[in-house]
Structure 1
Amino acid sequence: MANAQIKLLIAASGTGGHLFPAIALAEKLPDYQIQWLGVPNRLETQLVPQQYSLTTIAVEGFQQGLSFSSLRIFLKLAGSILTVRRILKQGKFQGVFTTGGYIAGPTVIAARSLGLPVIFHESNALPGKVTCFFGPWCTAVALGFDVAAKYLPRAKNVCVGTPVRSQFLEIEAPNTLDLPIPDGVPLIVVFGGSQGAVAVNKLVRQAAPAWFAAGAYIVHLTGDKDPDFASLEHPQYIKLPFYDNMAALLRRANLAISRSGAGSLTELAVCGTPAILIPYPFAAEDHQTYNAQVFTKAGAAIAFKQSALTSEILQNQVLQLLQSPTELAKMGERAKAIAVPDSADKLASLVREVLET
């Protein structure tokens, strides 16, 4: 089959953790005709239409137990399956790629009912319920972490890592960071993934004065839902809801304080940035804790449960690390050892193998 004839439907929706790996894959398949499947009012409606045709469907996740609400969601799911079947048939697609989430269910069912191959990418160390249920249905399940394979014994697993945006693979000049941070000063970068982290933001603001006194600068990416965004002002403190040039920022950072979503961890690893990780306590199946364990076991990060973390503990841990540049350097090297910088190439090769043979 000539590559120019291959049409791929990418179903990826919601957070940066679902979208960025799919975008990185798509960039490695320039000879494919790619159409995107998403959900209304999610991040993909902002990011995807710049590059790819986007179709949205209405689908939700099931809540615990049976109720009128779950019946309504089931009916919506059934409608979504029929909609995706129609899209796949009318578009004459050769296959489907998905990164999981609510949208994966109807997409996998529709594709497999038509006999189309499906490649599923699971970025987390602990696969989600959707992955565990639908993984065995798929032609291949691409894993971000080797450890995830033990939770998917019936799936055709291939470990490829998690792709990052192309900016993380470019050699950045030191002056590409367009923020007023002097050369040579310690830099702490705080971020909570694409949705921010209000609880972490609060702890950081309480601990920050001691870090300023130690000469550190802080770049704090608060997200856009922090009610206390404007509560701290200091010459060494830069607060932004988001920042586009994350690759340059993480390369410049001496230390990151972060949630442990798979996408954030992948970016930290590729940049070799040592980190303090605070897993989001309400993540499904507590999967962020499992992600963090991969990094703590490798010596690339230190992790704290949010419920056990105080501003004083965080303050002292950061000061201790800033006073130990040798240890920070070792942590950074261990983080780089976890990274799979050619993950997007490996994933693209897997997609080509499945769709072109």
Structure 2
Amino acid sequence: MSKPSRLLIAASGTGGHLFPAIALAEQLPDYKIEWLGVPNRLETQLVPDQYPLHTINLEGFQQRFGLGTLGILLRLANSIRQVRQLLKENNFQGLVTTGGYIAAPAILAARSLSLPVILHEANALPGKVTRWLSPWCTNVAVGFAAAENYLPRVSTVVTGTPVRSQFRTPQTLDLPIPENVPLIVVVGGSQGAVAINQLVRQSAQSWFDAGAWIVHLTGENDPDAQSLQHPQYITLPFYKNMAGLFQRANLAISRAGAATLTELTVTQTPAILIPYPYAAEDHQLFNAAVLADAGAGIVFRQSELTPQLLESKVLHFLKSPLELKEMRSRAGALAIPDSAEILAELVRKLVN
């Protein structure tokens, strides 16, 4: 009996990088998969126990060139050496990465050993690492077709972005929400969003008066997370069953990370999108535009959104169930629910 192929997955930092990689790994049970990440990041909590986790110390390369640049380059070179040693000693036969700065040493180390590399880029505007290093990769999978416009000399395939399997099957909630009430879900990404939290708390009373319930995921960093109390309001720092929550929601108020937007399309959840204004190269605005252009959501820049405007937009949707139904349909039309299987098939073709 032949040994299983050994695959290293490099995914680190945020749920946007980690959840698609975990969804892919679920589709490759016949592969021996190990993980590459960074100490003290979210992967130390989210990567399941069946995937051994290796970590390297690495920083992002967002600063301007200066005295600190040399130190970052030296650490990058050391990281490449460490990953190369890991790949050789454990006889890995290929690498998959979901981008971010962990991708740079992983891609360069794997290609120096002539190993196949598959890079998945979830954002509509590919990140700098993807744009710089995608020509080194064997193949680049993209979540949004719009990303291909920024990768003109690269072999790309539109796979969508993998979502965890529970997003594709009906889920039940363990939250005390009545069956027939409209539900608004507020989520600011894996770290929460204090600015969105403040807007929602200032707008919520009129939504309660209209009969809506709110599930508000505040993240861990909001000192005022418990400042609003109401029988129709449930506040949590984090909730594991996002699939069930989005499936039940009539409307989401959300940041515009690529993984979250993919989940919203798969669950056909209409959304008010508030892109994170400090995201690298404003890439969340590009992501949000994909849903807005398709009629699956509306977009507001954080700087232009007031509590009064947010309040009125949500009230409009609560009074317009037919409009929400149409938005659901348009969100569903964007979804590629079997993205994980498509990406897994690409891995099987290149890594064996």
1:195 matched to 2:204:
no
1:240 matched to 2:236:
yes
- Inter-partner Cα distance in structure 2 for 1:166 and 1:63: 34
- Inter-partner Cα distance in structure 2 for 1:280 and 1:326: 29
1:354 matched to 2:350:
yes
Which residue is 1:263 aligned to?
A: 259
Which whole-Å deviations, capped at 9, do the CAs of 1:101-126 have from their partners, x for residues lacking one? 11100011101111111000000000
Which whole-Å deviations, capped at 9, do the CAs of 1:30-56 have from their partners, x for residues lacking one? 010111000000000011152210000
Deviation at 1:63, TM superposition (A): 3.4
SS at match of 2:140: strand
Which residue is 1:326 aligned to?
A: 322
| Structure 1 letter corresponding to 2:279 | A
- Inter-partner Cα distance in structure 2 for 1:321 and 1:49: 39
- Inter-partner Cα distance in structure 1 for 2:336 and 2:203: 33
- Inter-partner Cα distance in structure 2 for 1:195 and 1:65: 26
* C-alpha contact (below 8 Å) 1:207/1:315 kept by paired residues: yes
* C-alpha contact (below 8 Å) 2:170/2:247 kept by paired residues: no
SS at match of 2:351: helix
Which residue is 1:104 aligned to?
A: 103
- Inter-partner Cα distance in structure 1 for 2:182 and 2:267: 16
* C-alpha contact (below 8 Å) 2:170/2:244 kept by paired residues: no
- Inter-partner Cα distance in structure 2 for 1:70 and 1:259: 31
- Inter-partner Cα distance in structure 2 for 1:330 and 1:309: 24
| Structure 1 letter corresponding to 2:235 | K
Deviation at 1:5, TM superposition (A): 3.0
Alignment of 1:106-255 (within 5 A): 106-172=105-171, 176-255=172-251
SS at match of 1:55: strand
Structure 1: tracts of 5 or more residues without a match: none
* C-alpha contact (below 8 Å) 1:222/1:229 kept by paired residues: yes
| Structure 1 letter corresponding to 2:155 | K
| Structure 2 letter corresponding to 1:290 | F
* C-alpha contact (below 8 Å) 1:96/1:111 kept by paired residues: yes
| Structure 2 letter corresponding to 1:131 | T
Deviation at 1:341, TM superposition (A): 0.3
- Calculate the aligned-residue CA RMSD, in Å: 1.1
Distance of aligned partners of 1:82 and 1:196 in 2 relative to their CA distance in 1, 3 Å threshold: same
| Structure 2 letter corresponding to 1:246 | M
Identity of paired residues, percent?
A: 66
Which whole-Å deviations, capped at 9, do the CAs of 1:225-283 have from their partners, x for residues lacking one? 11111111011110000111111111111100000100110110000000000000100
- Inter-partner Cα distance in structure 2 for 1:322 and 1:232: 21
Which residue is 2:89 aligned to?
A: 90
Deviation at 1:75, TM superposition (A): 1.1
1:281 matched to 2:277:
yes
Which whole-Å deviations, capped at 9, do the CAs of 1:167-213 have from their partners, x for residues lacking one? 101233xxx21111111111100001111111000000000011011
Which residue is 1:78 aligned to?
A: 77
| Structure 2 letter corresponding to 1:219 | V
Structure 2: tracts of 5 or more residues without a match: none
* C-alpha contact (below 8 Å) 1:192/1:222 kept by paired residues: yes
- Inter-partner Cα distance in structure 1 for 2:243 and 2:101: 29
| Structure 2 letter corresponding to 1:324 | S
1:67 matched to 2:63:
no
Q: TM-score, normalised by structure 2?
A: 0.98
* C-alpha contact (below 8 Å) 2:207/2:311 kept by paired residues: yes
Alignment of 1:274-313 (within 5 A): 274-313=270-309
SS at match of 2:20: helix
Choose the corresponding residue for 1:342, options 332, 338, 347.
338
- Inter-partner Cα distance in structure 1 for 2:261 and 2:48: 26
- Inter-partner Cα distance in structure 1 for 2:159 and 2:65: 37
- Inter-partner Cα distance in structure 2 for 1:156 and 1:30: 27
* C-alpha contact (below 8 Å) 1:63/1:70 kept by paired residues: no
Q: TM-score, normalised by structure 1?
A: 0.97
- Inter-partner Cα distance in structure 1 for 2:48 and 2:173: 27
| Structure 2 letter corresponding to 1:301 | G
Which residue is 2:31 aligned to?
A: 32
